[in-house]
């Protein structure tokens, strides 16, 4: 008894000590949290150790923790003169308290200088704050790039409804955020979405921007939703000048005083069971007051009718997806052979019916259709604003439609009516390559001869895009699901030229909009947003290895080991066991040709982009078996390479899914 009594306090002390230890461990590991994302701007110049620039940077950033400007969650200062001048901007999320803001920025400064050693310009984002510095003047200027996107791959249950509610919420938050003052441009709020969900969203600009600049930045961020976050429930988009986040779980502090949040923030409004009612709910509320006034029935009727007309008109103006209205304005006649009438497409796709839906690409759903002359088409219904005016859009479509090659899916035309933007493509009967090669049964039907033909066809299509067409298109999202197959299993590349149709600066080869698909993206594209023909070559190399092995690069496993296909292929090739890579369901075909393809694939995925061959030499290598191939060097991601540090921020997107 006594023992036990004595034990109790001491064991509780042990437990509390353990807890303390645990907390210390946790706080130690969280003391150096990783950025959600960061960019080191390699091309903007380097400083040397202990140079004047280095000293100025240190001085500037160390004043962060003592500066009172941070009390507003925004910090903009510069240090030094002339070419050694350093400018820095720090911004915390609008609802973050000054002390957390200070410590977030303090963490950022340590990590950013560590992650981007000697880089004159860098930018990093944490959950609660953003820090950037540069030798350029960065105050009072709207900078929409670089951009990062983080998402969780969970689809909203009622996608169209979800997107509608989200759009309305973001539109209203956008106005509130951009009309903020010079200390804070921030808005957060929530709205009742379909399936009992509440959508929480947040928008923020750096407050040194003008109202117009802030608005421009947010419009771009909102249109970036199309890139990867369309229809998903969780997403973050960050730009130097503004950021956006939405989620179906609450993530911001709605009690923060400065948050001009919606009234529904404390307790989410009761979800509506009838999903059709959500979009009109607000409007009927406001008109309800009018109707409640006691007036003769006749007046009420007149009022009701006019309100109905008004609501319908507004609904039609706003609605993006709903074309169930019977009357459709037909005032836009085809101005040239490429322009389709909306009605024609609607009839052809049976009013965009679910049965006609072929799938969804990065820019919106794709429907199968049949024109009255019997021609089959595929219609891509662009989901949101491309950020481009009608004329520019038409001009770009005309250019992209001129790209014609047997290994490209042909763009037949477009439709531009009201807010709808549709792209009309030739219909390619078989499904995409991923449907075949990653399926253990279906891929058995793809013998080596077919696979070799597919590899060759993709190479030719890509060569045309890169070098032979007058536009010199870089695809940027080349992957097995973007390769369609016709009746004879000829490959056709789809989704090319999308960067032209959406506002992306193609001229400088560095948009910093990382929009590719993880697993296919070249390291320089993931890390610095640099794309070039060589980043397409990298994606091509990944596809070649996937076609040979019948395995996905991401999520590849062999026995117990989980590693990526590229590393597996390289190790085996190096150790002379390259035949381990070959899909064993493929039991015929020239061994030499297969090994040669693996070799070419490995040349394409080399870390150093200068070492990767261009498409012209790849086509040559595939055609001429006598050509001696160079020895490939190590692919990226194999051992701890410099850049590996940013990968976990992408894993963030998948970690939350389970
Ligand atoms: C910033 O540094 C780069 C590289 O050293 C230099 O080319 C550029 O002119 C500098 N910009 C300013 C505004 O000093
Ligand atoms: C700066 O240094 C990085 C590596 O530390 C290098 O990749 C980059 O090319 C350098 N930039 C310039 C402009 O010299
Ligand atoms: C800033 O971070 C450094 C290094 O992590 C730490 O030593 C220092 O105490 C921090 N300062 C503040 C004010 O948090
Ligand atoms: C989300 O929806 C798209 C098509 O609408 C589908 O291709 C994708 O597999 C879905 N993702 C998940 C995780 O359900
Ligand atoms: C920093 O931002 C504030 C508020 O936006 C502005 O009034 C001030 O002039 C800026 N400071 C510098 C050094 O640009
Ligand atoms: C925008 O601001 C207005 C006025 O402060 C407020 O009534 C409204 O709820 C805000 N909207 C959102 C979505 O937060
Ligand atoms: C919504 O409206 C459509 C057509 O107007 C109807 O088919 C559907 O059943 C409605 N959904 C609900 C939940 O009422």
Q: Which CATH class is domain 37-139?
A: alpha beta
Q: Which CATH class is domain 433-651?
A: mainly alpha
Angle at 260 between CA 254 and CA 262, to 5 degrees: 70
* pLDDT at 200 > cutoff 90: yes
The pLDDT score that the predictor gives to residue 153 is: 63
* pLDDT at 10 > cutoff 50: no
More confident site: 312 or 536: 536
* pLDDT at 411 > cutoff 60: yes
- Residue ranges lining ligand 1, Cβ < 6 Å: 45, 83, 120, 135-136
* Window from 119-133, 519-533, 563-577 with minimum mean pLDDT: 519-533
Whose Cα sits closest to atom 2 in ligand 3?
106
More confident site: 549 or 467: 549
Predicted TM-score (pTM) of this structure: 0.46
Whose Cα sits closest to atom 7 in ligand 6?
262
More confident site: 126 or 36: 126
Q: In 10 A of CB 373, how many CB atoms? A: 5
368 CA distance to ligand 1 middle (Å): 52
CA of 274, closest atom in ligand 7: 13
The 10s digit of each residue's pLDDT in 220-271 is 999 888 877 888 888 888 999 999 999 988 888 877 644 333 333 333 332 2
- The CATH code belonging to domain 148-247 is 3.30.430.20
DSSP string computed for 256-278? -TT----GGGSSPPPPPS-GGGH
Domain 324-426 has CATH 3.40.50.1000: no
Q: Is 365 helix (H, G, I), strand (E, B) or coil?
A: strand
Q: In 10 A of CB 436, how many CB atoms? A: 24
The domain ranges of the chain are 37-139, 148-247, 324-426, 433-651
The 10s digit of each residue's pLDDT in 472-517 is 888 888 999 899 999 999 999 998 877 666 544 333 343 434 456 6
When pLDDT is cut at 50, 70 and 90, the band that residue 560 belongs to is very low
CA of 103, closest atom in ligand 3: 14
Separation CA 310–CA 327 (nearest Å): 16
Separation CA 516–CA 477 (nearest Å): 5
Spell out the SS3 assignment of 174-209. HHHHHCCCCCCEEEEEEEECCCCCEEEEEEEECCCC
Separation CA 138–CA 90 (nearest Å): 12
- Residue ranges lining ligand 3, Cβ < 6 Å: 65, 103, 106, 110
More confident site: 152 or 170: 170
Separation CA 283–CA 403 (nearest Å): 47
Q: Please work out whether the CB of residue 195 comes within 6 Å of at least one atom of ligand 7.
A: no
102 CA distance to ligand 3 middle (Å): 10
The 10s digit of each residue's pLDDT in 373-385 is 889 999 998 865 5
Give the mutation target among 164, 193, 276 for probing the ligand 7 site: most ligand atoms within 8 A of CB. 276
The pLDDT score that the predictor gives to residue 336 is: 58
Spell out the SS3 assignment of 137-166. CCCCCCCCCCEEEEEEEEECCCHHHHHHHH
**37-139 shares its CATH topology with 324-426:** no
Note the residue count of the chain.
658
Mean pLDDT of 339-365: 87
Q: In 10 A of CB 255, how many CB atoms? A: 10
Mean pLDDT of 115-125: 90
Separation CA 431–CA 636 (nearest Å): 31
Q: Chain-centre distance of CA 62, in angstroms?
A: 34
Mean pLDDT over the full length of the chain: 75
Mean pLDDT of 348-361: 88
- DSSP annotation of 295 reads -
More confident site: 435 or 388: 435
The pLDDT score that the predictor gives to residue 390 is: 79
When pLDDT is cut at 50, 70 and 90, the band that residue 145 belongs to is confident
CB within 8 A of 424, min separation 6: which ones?
340, 345, 377, 378, 379, 380, 411, 412, 413, 414, 415
Q: Which of 143, 158, 131, 147 is nearest to 235 (CA)?
A: 147
Angle at 315 between CA 309 and CA 316, to 5 degrees: 90
Mean pLDDT of 86-97: 93
Strand partners, 371: none
172 CA distance to ligand 6 middle (Å): 7
- Helix and strand element counts for the chain (H, E): 18, 19
Mean pLDDT of 536-559: 84
Give the percent of the chain with pLDDT over 70: 72
Separation CA 393–CA 282 (nearest Å): 34
């Amino acid at each position: 008894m006594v023992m036990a009594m004595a034990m109790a306090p001491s064991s509780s002390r042990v437990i509390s000590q353990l807890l303390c230890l645990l907390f210390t461990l946790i706080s130690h590991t969280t003391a150096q949290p990783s950025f959600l994302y960061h960019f080191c701007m390699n091309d903007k110049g380097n400083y040397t150790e202990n140079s004047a620039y280095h000293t100025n940077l240190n001085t500037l950033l160390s004043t962060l923790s003592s500066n009172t400007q941070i009390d507003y969650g925004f910090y903009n200062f510069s240090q030094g003169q002339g070419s050694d001048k350093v400018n820095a901007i720090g911004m915390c999320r609008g609802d973050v308290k000054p002390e957390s803001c200070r410590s977030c920025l303090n963490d950022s400064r340590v990590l950013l200088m560590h992650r981007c050693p000697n880089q004159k310009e860098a930018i990093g984002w944490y959950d609660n704050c953003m820090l950037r510095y540069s030798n350029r003047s960065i105050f009072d200027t709207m900078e929409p790039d670089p951009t990062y996107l983080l998402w969780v791959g969970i689809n909203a249950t009622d996608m169209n409804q979800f997107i509608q509610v989200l759009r309305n919420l973001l539109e209203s938050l956008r106005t509130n955020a951009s009309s903020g003052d010079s200390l804070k441009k921030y808005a957060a709020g929530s709205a009742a979405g379909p399936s009992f969900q509440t959508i929480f969203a947040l928008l923020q600009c750096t407050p040194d921007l003008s109202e117009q600049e802030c608005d421009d930045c947010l419009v771009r961020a909102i249109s970036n939703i199309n890139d990867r976050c369309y229809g998903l429930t969780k997403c973050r988009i960050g730009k130097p000048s503004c950021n956006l986040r939405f989620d179906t779980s609450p993530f911001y502090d709605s009690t923060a005083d400065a948050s001009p949040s919606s009234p529904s923030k404390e307790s989410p409004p009761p979800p509506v069971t009838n999903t059709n009612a959500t979009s009109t709910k607000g409007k009927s509320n406001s008109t309800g007051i009018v109707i409640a006034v006691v007036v003769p029935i006749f007046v009420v009727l007149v009022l009701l009718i006019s309100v109905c007309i008004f609501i319908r008109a507004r609904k039609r103006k706003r609605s993006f997806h709903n074309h169930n209205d019977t009357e459709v304005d037909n005032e836009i006649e085809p101005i040239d052979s490429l322009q389709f009438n909306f009605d024609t497409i609607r009839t052809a796709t049976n009013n965009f019916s679910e049965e006609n839906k072929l799938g969804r690409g990065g820019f919106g759903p794709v429907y199968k259709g049949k024109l009255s002359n019997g021609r089959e088409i595929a219609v891509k219904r662009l989901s949101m604003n491309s950020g481009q005016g009608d004329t520019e859009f038409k001009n770009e479509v005309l250019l992209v439609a001129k790209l014609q090659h047997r290994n490209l899916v042909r763009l037949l035309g477009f439709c531009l009516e009201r807010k709808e933007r549709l792209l009309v493509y030739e219909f390619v009967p078989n499904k995409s390559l991923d449907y075949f090669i990653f399926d253990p049964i279906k891929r058995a039907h793809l013998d080596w001869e077919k696979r070799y033909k597919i590899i060759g066809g993709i190479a030719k299509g890509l060569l045309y895009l890169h070098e032979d067409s007058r536009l010199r298109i870089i695809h940027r999202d080349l992957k097995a699901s973007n390769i369609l197959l016709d009746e004879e299993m000829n490959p056709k590349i789809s989704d090319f030229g999308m960067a032209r149709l959406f506002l992306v600066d193609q001229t400088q080869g560095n948009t910093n909009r990382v929009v590719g698909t993880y697993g296919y993206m070249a390291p320089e594209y993931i890390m610095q947003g640099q794309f070039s023909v060589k980043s397409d070559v990298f994606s091509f190399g990944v596809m070649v290895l996937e076609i040979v092995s019948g395995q996905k690069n991401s999520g590849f496993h062999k026995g117990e080991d989980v590693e990526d296909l590229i590393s597996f292929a390289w190790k085996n090739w190096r150790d002379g066991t390259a035949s381990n890579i070959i899909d064993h369901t493929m039991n015929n075909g020239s061994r030499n040709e297969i090994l040669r393809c693996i070799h070419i694939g490995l040349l394409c995925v080399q870390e150093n982009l200068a070492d990767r061959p261009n498409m012209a030499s790849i086509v040559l290598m595939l055609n001429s078996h006598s050509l001696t191939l160079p020895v490939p060097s190590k692919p990226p991601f194999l051992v701890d390479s410099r850049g590996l540090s940013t990968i976990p921020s992408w894993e963030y997107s998948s970690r939350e899914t389970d």
